Structures are given as C-alpha cells and as structure tokens.
Amino acid sequence: MKKLSARRRHPLAALVVLLVALTAIGGLYAALAPAPKAQADDSSQSLAIEEGKKLYTVGCSSCHGTSGQGGSDGPSLVGVGSAAVDFQVGTGRMPAQQPGAQVPRKKVIYTQKQIDQLAAYIASLGPGPVTPTEEQYDPAGANAARGGELFRTNCAQCHNYQGKGGALTNGKYAPTLEGVSNKHLYEAMLTGPQNMPSFPDATMPEENKREIIAYLDAVNGEGAPSPGGMSLGSLGPVTEGLFGWIFGLGALIACAIWLAAHTTKAKKS
C-alpha cells in the first residue's frame, strides 16, 4: 500500500488510472449491456438486407408486394420474422408454384446464404420470430418420452401419431414430418406456417420444442426402428386391413386354388 501511495504523484499515474477505469467500464459494458436487436448499422448485416431486398424483388414481390406489405395473392410479411422466411423458403414452399388449398413442399431453389439474406430483409421490416440457433433445436439430452406426450397432445390430431401427416378440410393437409430437418421442425412450431397454429415460447417453451424434436427423431427419424417389421406407412388400421385382405387372404385363396387343382383323382380327365 505504501508503495502504491508513494507513486501516486508519478507523471504517468493519471494515465494508468484512466486506462484501468476505461477497461473496467468497457468490460462491464460488454458483459452486461443488452445485445442489440436491430443491427441496422452493422455493415455486413446491412449488406445482407440489401442483397435480400434484391432477391425479394425478383422472387417474392409479385405476390407479397414491393415492400412486403402483402396483396390479394399473398399475406403481408411485416413482422413474420426471419424464422418464417427460413422455414418457407428453406423447405421449398416459397416461392409458391401456383395458388391452391395449400403450398406444398418442393425443391429448394435458393442457397442457404440467399435464404439468410431474404430472411434478413424480411426481419428488417418489423420484429418477429428469429431463426433459431443450433443449440435451440438440438434434441441431444432432451426427454423424448415427454416429447411424445406433448406430441400426442398438440400435434398428433393432424400429423398422425408418428408424424406421417393427415388430411384437413377442403384439400388442405398436415404434411408428413418425415425428413424434415430439426431446424425446420422448430421453426414450424415457432411460426405456425400455413394452416398450422403457432406455438410461440409463451405457450410452448423452447425446452418442450426440443423434446418434441427428440421424440420425432426417435420414432420417425432416419434409422428409427420399427419393432414389428414393415410399418405399412404407420397409417393405422386402414393400411393393415388392405394388406390383410390382399396379401393375407389373397395368398390363402391362391393356396386354396392350387390345392384344389392338385387332387387325387380316380381317373384323370
């Protein structure tokens, strides 16, 4: 203490104090300050928005309007957020091929970089659900059994008990969840695309979404086991009945015909 106090009048003391204070304040600010939501000033972000706007004008504006305000052919995109764009464009649903009961999943025509640019532009129109990061939708360690319970309560009535999809009214449908990436599953729950209700974090916390994804991975993911043998599409008793009639009874009737044709005969006719 004595040493420090002895040097307090050193010519460089003020400079040292200033440096210490600045470091402390800077460090505290970096640690405690809220992360900026809108990074309009970030140069790479503003570049992405600019590129996104160009892509938007070419691919989307004919239905959604020149600045995302919507029109008779497409809804307003103000406030849908980047997650909705990432889902709709990332699964090939958008740009839509034709109007209809529902826009189907198809070949993705944009690269992920372009999708991100589009998403950045749409996100700049108004705040909305943000594209999730990997740890948000990563099912590792999540409770799949609990996810199954949540899935049966919230999803199975449209998507079937194993996520194989189902019919809705007037040609609309809940699509199969087979082969849908974990990120897109998460985004669909978050944004509620097309006829699906949305499950924002307020009604279904992030943890629950991860559990549902874990359940789907366990029963419907790549290499998920089908303990009973061929699953017949996991579509319930209808396909089982069809199979039983055609292959079960069909095979047995074929055997009966064969047996009746090969009989002992007193004399061959």
Partner 1 sequence: MSTNTSASAKPRGKAPAGERVADWADGRLGIYSLGKANLRKIFPDHWSFMLGEIALYSFIIIILTGVYLTLFFHPAMNEVVYDGSYAPLQGIKMSEAYASTLHISFDVRGGLLVRQIHHWAAIVFVAAMLVHMMRVFFTGAFRKPREINWVFGFLLLFLGMFDGFMGYSLPDDLLSGTGIRFMEGAVLSVPIVGTYLSFFLFGGEFPGAEVVPRFFTIHVLLIPGIMAGLLVAHLILIVYHKHTQWAGPGKSEKNVVGMPFFPVYTAKAGGFFFVVFGVIAAMSALVSVNPVWAYGPYRPDQVSTDAQPDWYMGFSEGLIRIMPGWEINFAGHTLVLGVFIPLVIFPLVLGFMGVYPFLESWVTGDKREHHLLDRPRNRPVRTGIGAAWISLYLILLVGGGNDLFATRFHLSINAITWVVRISFFVLPVLVFFITKRICLGLQRRDRDKVLHGRETGIIKRLPHGEFIEIHEPLEQGALFKLTQHEQPKPLEVGPEVDENGVEKKVGPTAKLRAKLSRGYYGEGTQIDKPTVEEYEEITSGHGHH
Binding residues for heme c: 60, 63-64, 155, 158-159
CB closer to partner 1, 68 vs 148 = 148
Q: Where does this chain touch partner 1 (CB under 8 A) — which range of 67-75, 84-92, 194-202, 251-259?
A: 251-259
Q: 84 near 117, Cβ under 8 Å?
A: no
- Which 61-120 positions form the footprint of partner 1 (CB under 8 A)? 101
Helix, strand, or coil (residue 247) = helix
- Which 145-204 positions form the footprint of partner 1 (CB under 8 A)? 145-146, 148-149, 152-153, 156-162, 164-171, 173-174
Amino acid at site 41: D
- Which 210-229 positions form the footprint of partner 1 (CB under 8 A)? 215, 218-219, 226-229
CA distances from 107 to 63, 120, 172, 176, 237 (A): 20, 22, 20, 16, 32
- Tokens representing 115? 């999708």
Listing DSSP states for 111-142 in one string gives: -HHHHHHHHHHHHHHS--PPPPPHHHH--TT-
Q: 211 near 153, Cβ under 8 Å?
A: no
- Which 17-56 positions form the footprint of partner 1 (CB under 8 A)? none
241 lies in the binding site for partner 1 (CB under 8 A): yes
Residues lying near partner 1 in the complex (CB under 8 A): 101, 143-146, 148-149, 152-153, 156-162, 164-171, 173-174, 215, 218-219, 226-232, 234-245, 247-249, 251-253, 255-257, 259-261, 263-264
